[in-house]
A and B are shown apart, each in its own frame.
Chain A
Amino acid sequence: EIVLTQSPATLSLSPGERATLSCRASQSVSSHLAWYQQKPGQAPRLLIYDASNRATGIPARFSGSGSGTDFTLTISSLEPEDFAAYYCQHRGKWPPGATFGQGTRLEI
């Protein structure tokens, strides 16, 4: 079973700063990694798929990189609405179950 470990657990930054969030897989997941943003009381929202592809409607300040076991979500210049929880996620073809990281809380 693949385990995803996110760091840091909490990241305290200010609007306009750059945020760098990490996700490490216990074994290679190739580029099969996604990132989600979740605000309180809302469902997760897909940001990045296949490690580096922005989902439809996601601003260009969000970018993803990495392959194999080490992945990064970067927010180039934080906007007030970006303060939320972020999760990485992997799913393989078989078994078809998914795994989530434990999350990073991005706070002001």
Chain B
Amino acid sequence: QVHLVESGGGVVQPGRSLRLSCTASGFTFSNFGMHWVRQVPGKGLEWLAVISSDGKTDYYADSVKGRFTISRDNPKNTMFLQMNSLRAEDTSIYFCAKEPPFWGSWFDSWGQGTLVTVSS
């Protein structure tokens, strides 16, 4: 059974950095592209970043390009989101999500999310 667990959230001051992790189990992690999506509590979903199965290709939403970096460690079944120069508007719940097999346009599994609060 697919299981995704995010960690690393917390309270951080504006301008500081934070690294989130997404630990996967129940599937062959190295075979699947992975994504980060965030959500201001009570609001809608915002896609942030994708990384290919081999970690060689990534792509970002304009809102985080140049500040956030997605990466992965396949032997450790873990994906990361390095978030730099954090702003108050980055306060959100951050979810990791998995692509389906054989490329599909949807996300077939999600983690439960980790809350990041950017505040002085």
- On A, residues with C-beta under 8 Å from B are 32-34, 36, 38, 42-46, 49-50, 55, 87, 89-93, 95-103
Contacts and interface: CB of A to CB of B under 8 A. Distances in A.
A92 B105 contact: yes
Interface residues of B, number: 25
Contact of B35 (A36, A87, A93, A98): A98
28 contacts: A32-B105, A33-B105, A38-B45, A43-B110, A43-B113, A44-B110, A45-B110, A46-B106, A46-B107, A49-B100, A50-B104, A87-B45, A89-B106, A90-B105, A92-B105, A96-B59, A97-B47, A97-B50, A97-B60, A97-B61, A98-B35, A98-B37, A98-B47, A98-B105, A100-B45, A100-B47, A101-B44, A103-B45
B102 interface: no
Contacts of A89: 45, 105-107
Given A43-B112, A44-B45, A87-B45, A95 B105 contact: no
Interface string B40-62: 00001111001000000101110
Interface of B: 33, 35, 37, 44-47, 50, 57, 59-61, 95, 100, 103-113
Given A43-B111, A43-B113, A49 B45 contact: no
A49 B44 contact: no
Contacts of B45: 36, 38, 44, 87, 89, 100, 103
A95 B106 contact: no
B59 A97 contact: yes
A62 to B, nearest CB: 14
Chain B CB within 10 Å — which of A55, A92, A93, A98 has the most?
A98
A87 B110 CA distance: 14
Given A34-B106, A34-B107, 9 more contacts: A49-B106, A87-B45, A89-B105, A93-B103, A95-B59, A96-B33, A97-B59, A97-B60, A100-B37
